[in-house]
Amino acid sequence: MPTYKAPVDDIMFLLRDVFHIERYDNLPGFADASPDVLEAILGEAAKYCEDVLTPLNRVGDREGCKRASDGSVKTPTGFKDAFQQYAAGGWMGMSVPAEYGGQGLPETLTIAVNELLCSANMAFAMYPGLTQGAMAAILVHGSPEQKTTFLPKMIEGRWTGTMNLTEPHCGTDLGMLRTKAVKQGDGSYAITGTKIFISAGEHDLSDNIVHLVLARIEGAPAGIKGVSLFIVPKFLVGPDGALGERNGVSCGSLEEKMGIHGNSTCVMNYDGAKGVLIGEENRGLNAMFTMMNEARLGVGVQGLAQSEVAYQNAVIYARERLQGRSISGVKAPDKPADPIIVHPDVRRNLMTMRAFNEAARALVLWTALNADIAARSGDDKQRQAADDYMGLLTPVIKGVLTDQGFANTVAAQQVFGGHGYIAEHGMEQFVRDARIAMIYEGANGIQALDLVGRKLPKDGGRALQAFFKEVQDFLKEQGANEAMKPYAAPLGNALGHLQQATMWFMQNAMAKPDNAGAGAHDYMHLFGLVALGYMWVRIASVAQGKLAAGADGAADPMKARLTTARFFMERMLPETGAHLARIQSGASSLMELPAEAF
């Protein structure tokens, strides 16, 4: 059975040494989050994830969720108890303002903890994850009354949340949605329609489920401009917050799916269910986007999380499994064979995962810090810059971290050989679970389009230019340092490819937008490589500094980071040239065939 050890040391190295989190003490909630406090909290989260959630991961996969004929859904053995522990630990509202019962700590911390949860048990982590997403929407768009009604109960874990967007005939194209909202005399709405793929739509973990539902108010304009967002609780809520009668919403069936079996993925039927509007009429997509940005960052974290836990188990196996002899000479003469970690191709898989995981974690935390600044800073300019950064990086993190995270679970499975294909080792579950992250919250093709079509041109390319400048400034700072050359020079080259690609779009995608669509996927991955490379240069710079200063007994981890950074530069970054070539080939060979010729 797979094991998991939370990478608390690496998270602390990044927050403390690379990103100097104490510099943000002026932000609300950050003064309470000194590195020592962060480390203690992460230590608690690690214990919970390692001891409680990890053993339930395979249980959840084997048992799945069960729907009874009355529409109720039972989660796998142990999930309810684990959820109660999660709620009791105060994890749900860690970053929600204290006035609603939260702790107001940095969102960065919540995101760091979510990596641990998703490594230990991704299907489980979705229940609180969706609740946090729903809370985020209510926090930003809800009325004061909605906030006080819903948030405290959700923070306590007594109520949970969901997002209801997809319908059988529309997922990406939400303008086509048909779920109807009819205004009632009391100002509420009667919601009718069918939603599919609703994660945590029905389950036995909480007393009530707060569905956020996109629907079209009678007479609203066609398309996405006629879509509104509603709060539709499973049980109606009285003015005192007490649960009333059952609302007209139920789980029609559970989807049979490839993975995340521990999470209940529901078809939800709304049959005149009572809902209240959240935010403004016909501005539902806007409100939903608040949730979606957080959710997309969260899904990117799932990619990293699955890659991390798969990596850890592949390392253990590679150290223990004896098979063949090193081609550079026997390494374990006292054993019948060498451990397979001596083989370069096994190392290639392990190093690829490692080089991704550490940089991806850095990128997530750095972006999360920017999300905190965007939400909490009193300085308009700083807030805007952080918001730009977050908006630009969100599709990159979602798309690249889930694509590569999935690929890494496949690589980790490969290290196990035939044993990786067998269920009992758990490696194939990581592959099946990680796969969904490339699809939901906007399939990765949509992320690429969001990046190229929306985020690049936004505000005259302000966010992109700021990102280029940030990387260039850092490279310039390193310019004088000869020891940094092996890291900085390849990144400079990759950044050049990204800039050429950007220029190519400017010159070729205006007249022919298909050229942007055709290059979007490659551009997103090219961007991701530059962003991850930038993280490695920052990490390498700190590691070198620490080694030069004596490294406080941490010489080995710092040396390991330098080796891994070099691996990234030599082995992963060369891909940028291929991405650029593909982008510059344009749309013509893609679009030439008539549809019927396929």
> Minimum CB separation from a second copy for residue 532, in Å?
16
Q: Which CB sits closer to a second copy, 75 or 312? A: 312
Q: Taking the complex as a whole, how short is the minimal distance between the CB of residue 445 and a second copy, in angstroms?
A: 4
- In contact, 189 and 274? CB cutoff 8 Å: yes
Catalytic pick from 115, 280, 441, 596? Answer: 441
Nearest residue (CB) to a second copy, 146 versus 357 = 357
**Angle CA 124–129–134, to nearest 5:** 140
- Cα distance between residue 449 and residue 465, in whole Å: 19
Shortest Å distance, C-beta 2 to a second copy: 14
- The residue among 517 and 528 lying less far from a second copy, judged by its C-beta, is 517
- For the chain, the residue count is 598
Q: Cβ closer to a second copy: 135 or 350?
A: 350
CB atoms within 10 A of CB 593: 9
Annotate 61-95 with DSSP letters as a single string. Answer: HHH--EE-TTS-EEPPTTHHHHHHHHHHTT-TTTT
Our CB check for a second copy shows the closer of 110 and 544 to be 544
Helix extents (H) in 75-187: 79-88, 107-141, 144-155
Q: How far apart are the first and last CA of the chain?
A: 44
395 Cβ neighbours under 8 A, 6+ residues apart = 296, 442, 447, 448, 450, 451, 455, 524
Question: Measured from the CB of residue 525, what is the shortest distance to a second copy in angstroms?
Answer: 12
Nearest-approach distance from CB 434 to a second copy, in angstroms: 11
Q: Which of 496, 585, 580 is nearest to 533 (CA)?
A: 496
- 441 annotated active-site: yes
**Read out DSSP for 388-421?**
HHHHHHHHHHHHHHHHHHHHHHHHHHHHTGGGGG
Minimum CB distance to a second copy smaller for 59 or for 439: 439
Give φ, ψ of 165 to 5 degrees. -115, -55
Residue 590 C-beta: closest distance to a second copy, Å = 4
CA dist., res. 399 & res. 452, Å (int): 12
- CB burial of 439-452 (b: ≥16 within 10 Å; e: otherwise) equals bbbbbbbbbbbbbb
Distances (CA, A) of 548 to 19, 541, 551, 561: 19, 11, 7, 14
69 or 328: CB nearest a second copy: 328
Give the H or E element holding residue 11.
helix 8-12
CB of 298 to a second copy, least distance (A): 17
Q: At its nearest, how many Å lie between a second copy and the CB of residue 484?
A: 16
Nearer to a second copy, 341 or 386 (CB): 341
Contacting residues for 253 by C-beta, under 8 A, at least 6 apart:
67, 266, 267
3-state secondary structure of 252: strand
Active site residues: 441
